[in-house]
Structure 1
Amino acid sequence: RKCAYADKRSFNKCRESGRLYIYKCHAGLVEAVMPLYENEKNIGYLMLGQISDNKNNNTLIEKIPYWQEKYGFDTETLNTSIQSITYKSTEEIYAAAKIMEACTCYIAFKELIEPEESRVFKAAKAYIDKNLSADLDIDDICKELSLGRTKLYDIFKREANTGVSEYINRRR
């Protein structure tokens, strides 16, 4: 739960600033989060993490009794996990985070991620275009897309700033 809480808190800070956010989680590991945007709307995050900026794992090893008591982990599992944690200097972590930041810019520029609603809208448009000469019924579109009427209308309002029937009439 602490990990999920830390992730949620980092997403909030990242969304508020609109920028890369680097932080230490409750376990003492470094993580970075960068927002993904489409048309100035936050649609997700890229994360980099669970890296140690401390060459000496003793700080983490000292927490073993706490983790055993709190989460019931056994010593061997914890030691194995701690030994597998990658060490990177602060400079290396920052450089990797900046590369991640560049990747988010590339993703946005190339439009490599498309929100679900945009995919549904495109599928609806394709279905409408394919069936323009037929007697198009909203329920048929909903059935084709496995979508409720309200959701379909909401998507058209957001994506095309119009209703479904009005969109069909304009296409005709």
Structure 2
Amino acid sequence: MISTFNLTKLNSLLKDFYTLTQIRITVFDDTFRELAAYPEEIAPFCRLLRTDPAAEKECRRCDAVACETASRQHSPFTYQCHSGLTESIAPLYMGNIVIGYLLFGHVFSYSSHEEGWENIQKLCKDYKVDMERLKDACWERPLISENYIESASHILQAVASYLCLERMAIIGQKELPVMIDEYIMKHFTEEIDVQSICEHFQIGKTTLYEIANQNYGAGIAAHIRSLRISKAESLLVSRPEMRISEIAAECGFNDYNYFITIFKKATGMPPKQYRQINRRNFLSPA
């Protein structure tokens, strides 16, 4: 998918994040290609490490894996990279589609430089780099606490939300994944399945499966069931006058017994019990 960004506003926001946190922040598109960063220069530690092609390749792989993990869990993901520095990444969403990622990184999160160097030395021992210079680069990095990183991660999530709300990150053209997502959201309570979607968009099942796994982390049928269950949960609480059989039909379940089975599997309780418990909570004063 091709995503377009208002880079002028984006760079201003990245600069604000850095001013507050003193942590470098980067924007990737949905193919893990770097679009913007502040500051533009990476830390001397990373610059030195990436002089080894194997280390640079591992850096890119590490970023891609982190992007995929954050996308699957729909929330910021904080982790230690392959070289021992701490990074955090947040996905950018438009609807259910990932259009990019925000990442802050190169953070030296240890209680002391000695502790950090001991770990980093082990992780980087196979790379062809000057270890004395790498050690000096470690000592240049400020010590950052876990609490500070957690707070910065919260700000990162706020920035990601702001980017989408302000339309600073927009989908540049309606490509196939976007059109499929819109179609599913419009028709998920109707007779819809893999075959009908493939016929509508004139694509093969393999293409549809690849799009579903990339954007939903699940198959089309599982995604549609999830949407239907979510709608049923909402109706059970907000529409007490509706019979459960009516809700099942309203959400696209023509087989009432199947609906009961699937709902219980998804929520851990049958619809009637779910309504009783959550309706009580809904009516209780805060």
TM-score, with normalisation over the residues of structure 1? 0.62
Separation of aligned partners in 1, 2:109 and 2:161? 26
| Structure 1 residue 65 displacement after superposition | 7.2
The Cα offsets for residues 135-156 of structure 1, whole Å up to 9 and x where unpaired, read as: xxxxxxxxxxxxxxxxxxx67x
- Of the candidates 151, 154, 165, which is equivalent to residue 109 of structure 1? 165
1:143 is matched with which residue? none
CA contact (8 A) 2:66 2:89 kept: yes
CA gap of 1:65–1:29, structure 2 versus 1, over 3 A, is closer
SS in 1 for 2:144: coil
Alignment of 1:50 with 2:106, yes or no, is yes
* Structure 1 gap segments, 5+ residues each: 119-153, 162-172
- Of the candidates 47, 72, 76, which is equivalent to residue 128 of structure 2? 72
Letter in 2 for 1:24: Q
2:144 is matched with which residue? 88
Separation of aligned partners in 2, 1:117 and 1:76? 49
Alignment of 1:29 with 2:66, yes or no, is no
| Structure 1 residue 97 displacement after superposition | 0.6
2:61 is matched with which residue? 5
SS in 1 for 2:169: coil
CA contact (8 A) 2:113 2:143 kept: no
Separation of aligned partners in 1, 2:139 and 2:60? 23
Letter in 2 for 1:80: D
SS in 2 for 1:22: strand
| Structure 1 residue 36 displacement after superposition | 0.3
User: How do 1:149-168 residues align onto structure 2 when only pairs under 5 Å count?
Assistant: 158=179
* Structure 2 gap segments, 5+ residues each: 1-56, 184-286
SS in 1 for 2:105: strand
CA contact (8 A) 2:91 2:98 kept: yes
The Cα offsets for residues 100-148 of structure 1, whole Å up to 9 and x where unpaired, read as: 1001111111010123326xxxxxxxxxxxxxxxxxxxxxxxxxxxxxx
CA gap of 1:50–1:33, structure 2 versus 1, over 3 A, is same
| Structure 1 residue 87 displacement after superposition | 1.6
CA gap of 1:79–1:106, structure 2 versus 1, over 3 A, is same
The share of aligned pairs that are identical, in percent, is 22
TM-align CA RMSD: 2.9
SS in 2 for 1:54: coil
SS in 2 for 1:71: coil
| Structure 1 residue 57 displacement after superposition | 1.6
1:14 is matched with which residue? 70
Separation of aligned partners in 1, 2:172 and 2:142? 35
Separation of aligned partners in 2, 1:116 and 1:84? 40
| Structure 1 residue 82 displacement after superposition | 0.7
